[in-house]
Structure 1
Amino acid sequence: MNPRRKQRLAVVASIGILVIGAISLMLYALTDSIDLFYTPSEIIEGKQGQRPEVGQRLRIGGMVVPGTVSRNSESLAVSFDLVDVGPKVTVRYSGILPDLFREGQGIVATGVLINDTTIEAQEVLAKHDEEYMPPELAEKMKGIKHVKPEDASY
């Protein structure tokens, strides 16, 4: 191999190494801001054989179980249970809930896993259209009867 080819190969190899290093650094920086989506069953049983770790930031979606909404009269603290097709997960939230939040309604919460069945939420979103459901949740909810907001008794 002549010296000119060796020099080109060295330049191309060093550019490749720099690009791989830059991509690795970007992916490492994004790990703190990535919120994985789970359903209550996936939190308890695991998603693809892997359960989320305590302290992990995540998003959870499911239906609010009727009769489980508990409000603190002295603060804005609220706790409620979420369910999809299996076990229930408790969500604790301190703040003003969305206007569309109701028992039997689908919600998505972003927060931190406190223990195996409890999430401390920083954000709670209520879906606005009764017909829409995330595809993953819709697949799991097939055949499950839930209470629609107009049928729920308060």
Structure 2
Amino acid sequence: MKGLKKKRRVQVILLAAVALAVSTALIGYGMRDGINFFRSPTQVVETPPAATETFRLGGLVEEGSLIRGQGETVTFNVTDGGESVRVSYTGVLPDLFAENQGMIGTGKYVNGVFEASEILAKHDETYMPREVVDALKEQGVYQEPGDS
């Protein structure tokens, strides 16, 4: 009787371990396209990602670089104070999108141009995404709101 209980306990533990491994693999497989890594313009220029990789690019919209094309196509440069990356976006920009303001875009870097599928802008005059603040601090160009 003792041997049967021990055997049953080992089977339950093995089954639980297999179920945990399978569920972990399924979660990882399901999230493979949902994870987008953040990069600053300097990181993109220094180490260009593959054209098939989707990632997030953030920084300040460079003053004087905003060009509205035909239809809803817009091109502009994003900078972190060190490097600039050309961005192309087709769609309606957020209401608060403007030059010299923080933004984050999701998309792919193809032939030297970041082709954005989504653009997010700041939501008030003092907010800037944490990733953008960190990248600007790294370049030494970030100023706390209210500083002149």
Asked if Structure 1 and Structure 2 have the same fold, meaning a TM-score greater than 0.5 normalized by the shorter chain, the answer is yes
User: Between the two proteins, what is the percent identity of the paired residues?
Assistant: 36
**Which amino acid in structure 2 is aligned with residue 100 of structure 1?**
L
What stretches of structure 1 of length at least 5 have no aligned partner? 147-154
1:23 corresponds to which letter in structure 2? Answer: T
CA distance in 2, matches of 1:66, 1:20: 51
In 1, Cα distance between the equivalents of 2:96 and 2:132?
A: 19
TM-score by length of 2: 0.82
Q: Partner letter of residue 105 of structure 2?
A: A
Provide the secondary structure at the position in 2 that maps to 1:97. Answer: coil
Cα contact 1:92–1:121 (8 A) shared by 2:
yes
Bigger proportion of residues as helix: 2
Residue matched to 2:44: 43
Q: What displacement does 1:99 show? A: 1.9
Does the 8 Å CA contact 2:38/2:131 hold for their aligned counterparts?
A: no
- Following the alignment from structure 2 to structure 1, what is the Cα–Cα distance between the partners of residues 121 and 7? 61
Task: Write the distance in 1 (CA, Å) between the matches of 2:68 and 2:135.
Answer: 29
Once the two structures are TM-superposed, the CA of residue 28 in structure 1 deviates from its matched residue by: 0.8
The match for 1:144 is 141
Once superposed, which parts of structure 1, at least 4 consecutive aligned residues long, lie more than 6 Å away? Answer: none
For the residue of structure 2 that corresponds to 1:136, the secondary structure is helix
Supply the RMSD in Å over aligned alpha carbons: 2.1
Shift of 1:145: 6.7
- Select 2:84's aligned residue among 88, 92, 97: 88
Matched length: 140
5+ long unaligned stretches in structure 2: 144-148
Instruction: Tell me if structure 1 keeps the 8 A contact 2:96–2:123.
Output: yes
- Equivalent residue, structure 2, for 1:130: 125
Scaled by the length of structure 1, what TM-score is found?
A: 0.79
